[in-house]
Amino acid sequence: MWETIVKGWKAYRGWVKRRKEKRIARRKAKGFVRDWLEFIVTLTIMVFFIRTAVVEAYRIPSSSMEDTLLIGDFLMVNKFLYGIRTPDWIGIPFTEIGFDIPHTRTPGLREPRRGDVIVFKYPRDPSVNYIKRCVGLPGDTLEIRDKIVMINGKPFPDPAEAKYTDWRIEPAGVKERGIYPPGAGNRDNYGPIIIPDGNYFMMGDNRDNSSDSRYWGFLPEDAILGKALIIYFSWDKYVPFYRFYDSIRWKRIASLIH
């Protein structure tokens, strides 16, 4: 029995050796350039698939989600939770050279919920990505009374890191220019409105300094890209470069987004 095991092990090692030799010979036959070209193409396809179907990086460019998210936070976004949205544009990255293509969405694990921090295509300019918190679902009646968000007649609690930077409250009855829909009120006293089917109401956690659904309207489900998952890196751009170590917000790295 022992001899049989030894023979089997030697046969396996011989097979591994021959396979390795064939692989090396195949690479030599292809040539260095072709071998690396195949590697780069394969890597590109894998990265494209991961970005499209699994997760994608996103950088926070503005203060509208403070203090939950800060300028300079880099996020990973879960793209399959709500269903994978296939690309709707093909072209040269970082340019406007390209063209639109039909897109679709696969079934998701669940629908967006109140409180989810979501990355989406800005409805007024789909080439721009926005990030806000979902506060209203399809069919909800939403109202804001003296800065307090009301959903179906009940207060919707502020996120733990939400903030208000202006102590003043715009009185009810005062119509603010730019509010959507026109005549719905102002940033502090808004609505009530009913959120249409297939749409969501989004707000920034920096409630007094956020361009959100109060100003540009409802978010169509089709524009949703994914749920913000984790902060994988964070840096403060206002810290001088020669203090690079100090500019990194170490405590925020690997923080889950709530």
pTM equals: 0.79
pLDDT at 4: 61
Active site residue 62: no
Catalytic site includes residue 234: no
With b meaning 16 or more CB within 10 Å and e meaning fewer, what string describes 167-186?
eeebeeeeebeebeeeebbb
User: What tokens were used for 27?
Assistant: 């690479």
Cβ atoms of 202 and 196 within 8 Å: the answer is no
Domains along the chain with CATH numbers: 45-256 (2.10.109.10)
| pLDDT score of 185 | 96
Peptide bond into 181 cis (omega under 30): yes
Q: Which residues of the chain have pLDDT under 50?
A: 43, 47, 50, 52-53
Q: Which of the following is catalytic: 10, 28, 30, 132? A: 132
Catalytic residue among 64, 210, 213, 234: 64
